Amino acid sequence: TQRRWRPPNPNELIMNTDAAVRPHDNFAGIGVCIRDHSGCVIACCLKRINGKLSSESAEILVVREGFLFAQQMNLSISVIETDANRVVQSILLDPQPLADTALVFSDIFHLMSIVNYGTSRYIPREQNEVAH
């Protein structure tokens, strides 16, 4: 059975993120969508990140960009959803990341406190269409 989108509690915001990387391109596309409990889009952001990135690196970067975007918009994020399960696990388990991602995760953890972050959850790709 396909799970449906779960809204945050009233007066809370949810942020969906996604990244797209094609092997032959020298860039990644990222998307961030912030919605309220009714599903209304409060803010969204699309961006191109130049450079040769792995899918996982792009997914980590889109989470950081999402938190930066929320900070710029002065929004508190209660829940972040992404279809990158390893990224969710890294955020939830307070990782000791490899050197190539350590600085990005350091930024993410700092930004989480600024935007009053609550939790992260993995959602299957087909449920994350709003961030595409």
pLDDT of residue 36: 95
Number of domains into which the chain is organized:
1
Contact 110, 63 (CB under 8 A): no
Residue 81 domain-assigned? yes
Rounded distance between C-alpha atoms, residue 81 and residue 33, angstroms: 10
pTM: 0.82
pLDDT of residue 119: 80
The series of mean pLDDT values per 10 residues for the chain, 132 residues long, is 74 94 91 94 95 90 94 94 87 66 82 84 70 48
Question: Domain of 77?
Answer: 13-127
Residue 4 domain-assigned? no
CATH of the domain at 62: 3.30.420.10
Residue 41 domain-assigned? yes
Token look-up 């829940």 returns: 79
pLDDT of residue 1: 47
Residue 84 domain-assigned? yes
Burial letters for 22-43: b for 16+ Cβ neighbours within 10 Å, e otherwise?
Answer: eeeeeebbbbbbbbeeeeeeee
